[in-house]
Structure 1
Amino acid sequence: MLQDQATIESKYKLFIERAAASKLVWGLKSKDGWANSYSNDSEEVDVIPFWSDRAYAKICARDEWKGYVPVEIPLAEFLESWCVGMADEETLAGVNWDANMFGVESEALNVALDILNQLNAINSAISFKNYSSINEFITEIGESLD
């Protein structure tokens, strides 16, 4: 059963809020690497799924991802390494997919920007290796999206 757009958007918003609050995201990993898939829109586009909670990731460790385990990714690493790297490789981020692989597929820099804006909104600090502040990171993403 396909989920309606409001449910999918709600799951995306939950991801942004929980990632900013916990300063963690979750991926699925096996001895062969991280779980990934093709976009629902095109098999030419890769998607790496991430979840806001370990339990959500664990639910998806089945079928082709049986044998994968939830692994936490610190938020600063996710934003600086994963999102920036995925943008360079034109790989999308799958956000809070359910067990049927339904959920948002988004440009990685848009996900990063939404999380950074949420961090600002909740007045939460975070330390980066390559940026002196959240606002510097936001500015750089904005320039690269223009």
Structure 2
Amino acid sequence: MTTHHPTTRRLVYGHAQMHDCLAFADADTAAEEAAEIKAIAAARTWGEARRIRTTHVSNPADPEYYDPDEDPADDEAFDINEVGSVMEGDWPPLVAERAFTLLPKDLHTRFGKQQATVLNGDLLEIPLSDEAELVAELRRRGYEVQRDDDLINVLDGRSFSPLAG
């Protein structure tokens, strides 16, 4: 039986294409988050989108995310790229922002640069060139780290974003 040090974290990371930097996510929940994002993005009607129950991400088809005067009928066609919070870049939240809470603070300034986005808050821009050194440092500190570019980009909305291309 292995005993894990209480500060051990499991992280998944990858190249976040929209911001061309490394991004990190909690490996314990990332796959489930990605599945929720894909399910919502694949919904064909507003009713179908609303019925998707999420545990890890907010659902942009929920009434608190759109103008109540524009309450779409359940059978109305749903296009994830026409949802306000998606068009404004608020959903899903920037994956490159998670490094602020997932990585030790001293590594923020050592490897990353805080960047403000026009509408969506700050992200931690970590150059791809720092991957080997950063991953080695995290492992040295007891983190389990695994690369998965596809998963990171699904979390960033890359699987449906019109900006992807």
TM norm. shorter chain > 0.5? no
Q: Which has the larger radius of gyration?
A: 2
- Looking at secondary structure, tell me which structure has more helix per residue: 1
The structure showing larger relative contact order (alpha-carbon pairs under 8 Å, at least 6 residues apart) is 2
- Normalized against structure 2, the TM-score is what? 0.26
